[in-house]
Structure 1
Amino acid sequence: MPNFGDALSRLVVAHLSGREVRHAGPGQADLYAIGSILQIARRKYSEAKTYAQKPVIWGSGLLHAVASTEFLSNVNIALLRGPITASLLGVKTQRFGDPGLLVADVLAPAPSKTHRIGLVPHHSQMEDPEIQTLANSSEEFLLIDPRQDPATVCGQISACDHIYAASLHGLITADAYGVASTWVSPGDQGHLKYYDYAASIGRVLISPLAWDQIPDHLRNNNQPAELAYGAGIARAQADLRNSFPARLRAEQNTGTA
């Protein structure tokens, strides 16, 4: 099922490569970018054989620990999403980043703020009655559906003063636009990917709020003028730009990605 992270991946990779981006199966892809998709790479490339072209891992992460890491010799790692993924794989590196942090290079922010609070559920939570009731309780709230066109989602996130998000890329997009954000429970989704991303930029994440805690959190929360981990975001953005594989750029290759 296509999701917001998939859509951002296509946009960001097309922007940096200057090329058309076309979805391909795990055995034909040149690049693994946004998402907790390294389990897929492990399954596909664990066999010891000579591969015509090793795929590049750029900003991908793990969803959970893996039993073996033999696949690493059959892929080229340009960048991993975060230090938890690196630790679980036994990869020694000091550079990390989720490519979603570059979305502001592709899509300009909204021209003005329209709402005080944006609510970004995980796509599986969009019909949750509790979230719908919360969103309808005040005109200050904008319920943002991450299944929409990415330009719409990014515009709505950047038009808010504060984002409460269960969607990982809701949080990442807010960071990309310098919008303060708070992590909210993603339901049955695992938490590793959130901690992995947060550690990549030096962001402190303790545990997510429950959706019914948002009104109290709003009353007791002073909005910071700037993100405390802004330097970590800038470092990750630089690492992402500098690590994008040169062989996949348009001037190096006239095919499709």
Structure 2
Amino acid sequence: MTDTPLRAFWWQNPEFSNLGDAINQNVLEYASRRKVERAPAWSADMIAIGSILDNPVIGKAFTKGRGKRIWVWGSGAMDSVQPHWLKKLNVAAVRGALTASMLDADTATSVLGDPGLLAPRIWKTSTTKTHKVGLIPHHSQLKSEWVERFLAQVTGSILIDVTNPDFAEVFQQIAGSEIIFSSSLHGLIFADAWHVPNFRINAGRLHRGGDTKFRDYYSGVLRPENTPLGIDNFVWLNSFDFDQNYFNYFKALDLVSDRLEHAFPEKLKQTSAV
């Protein structure tokens, strides 16, 4: 067994934990069978979960003299602007077809999907449904007026906080929901991972790229695109009905997860059995 930690770069806010990014450590430890530590782009071995492929911090590392290539496993781009450092990456998998379209023959991959889908292979949850509706706002919207209004207007709804550092509790809340509404991409991804019907709420612009990261993820799991819900009124959700056939893509998610797990670079795995 190698004692050297796998060094990975992911987005991090020093003031709070954001589940969609912080989960990198757990998922990478599962896939590599190594200890994982967060590292700056200058010295990282890998980037994985998150819209980080086109993060300018990575480009700056290469501009300042980083020579070693960075492995990419399931990362996505924030928008469709092709970064100049793509040829300096070893690509095992990317989040979706929009990100894949940015690659050329030297970096192309056919493995698509977000490694956050592997979460149920790490955290085991009860299958019992404990509440009707789970609301997962983007971390920047937790204290928004619309969130408070949603919880007041939708009967049986609970707030699922992606900044809660108790990941097991968050995943149990997701698994315990009959339906999920989310303005967070990883809220939708984790709901998909537990096969909980889920719908996107568009509560305004989150960052550059607009809908790109959502469309990118959808393309990677063959999820049909649909119009996100607005935030004007939530009362009607108490009688919300949907076509279960929309979620037929759930049937292929285990295959997506298998392909992602098998695509993890062998060079970065634990070198021998414990």
Q: State the TM-score, normalized to the length of structure 1.
A: 0.88
Sequence identity (%): 32
Q: 2:160 aligns with which of 133, 141, 144?
A: 144
Which residue in the other structure is 1:163 paired with?
A: 180
1:13 is aligned, of 20, 28, 40, to 28
Secondary structure of the 1:38 match is: coil
1:39 and 2:57 matched: no
Q: Match of 2:3?
A: none
TM-score, with structure 2 as normaliser? 0.83
1:73 aligned to 2:93?
Answer: no
Separation in 1 of the partners of 2:59 and 2:43?
A: 14
Q: Which residue of 2 aligns with 1:131?
A: 147
Classify the secondary structure of the residue corresponding to 1:211.
Answer: coil
Give how far 1:242 is off: 0.9
Matching residue of 1:87: 101
CA distance in 2, matches of 1:68, 1:199: 21
For the 8 Å contact 1:167–1:186, the answer to whether it is kept is no
1:177-196 deviation line (CA, Å, top 9, x unaligned): 11110011142222110000
Tell me the equivalent position of 2:136: 120
1:41-98 CA-partner distances (Å, limit 9, x unpaired) = 65146549782x32210000100122544x2222110101100011133464432010
Q: Could you say if the C-alpha distance between residues 108 and 199 of structure 1 is closer, same or farther in structure 2, counting changes exceeding 3 Å?
A: same
Quote the Cα distance in structure 2 between the aligned partners of 1:79 and 1:44.
22
Q: Which structure has the highest helix share of the two?
A: 1
Corresponding residue number in structure 1 for 2:244: 224
Which residue of the other structure, out of 221, 242, 260, is the alignment partner of 1:240? 260
Long gaps (5+) in structure 1: none
Partner of 2:153: helix, strand, or coil? coil
- The alpha-carbon distance between structure 1 residues 207 and 111, as it changes in their structure 2 partners (threshold 3 A), is closer
Judged with a 3 Å threshold, the aligned counterparts in structure 2 of structure 1 residues 111 and 234 are, in CA distance, closer, same or farther, namely closer
1:129: how far off? 1.7
Counterparts of 2:196 and 2:37 in 1: how far apart (Å)? Answer: 31
8 Å CA contact retained: 1:45, 1:74: no
Which sits farther off after the overlay, 182-191 or 142-151? Answer: 182-191
**87-96 or 24-33: bigger deviation:** 87-96
**Matched residue of 2:179: which SS?**
strand
> Does structure 2 retain, via aligned residues, the 8 Å contact 1:114–1:160?
yes
C-alpha contact 2:72 2:89 (8 A) present in aligned 1: yes
1:179-218 correspondence to structure 2 within 5 Å? 179-189=196-206, 190-218=210-238
**Corresponding residue for residue 7 of structure 2:** none
Question: Residue by residue, what CA displacement relative to the aligned partner does 1:178-223 show, whole Å, maximum 9, x if unpaired?
Answer: 1110011142222110000011011012231113454324524146
For 1:28 and 1:48, the matched residues in 2 are separated by 12
CA contact (8 A) 1:246 1:252 kept: no
The structure 1 residue matched to 2:193, chosen from 151, 154, 176, is 176
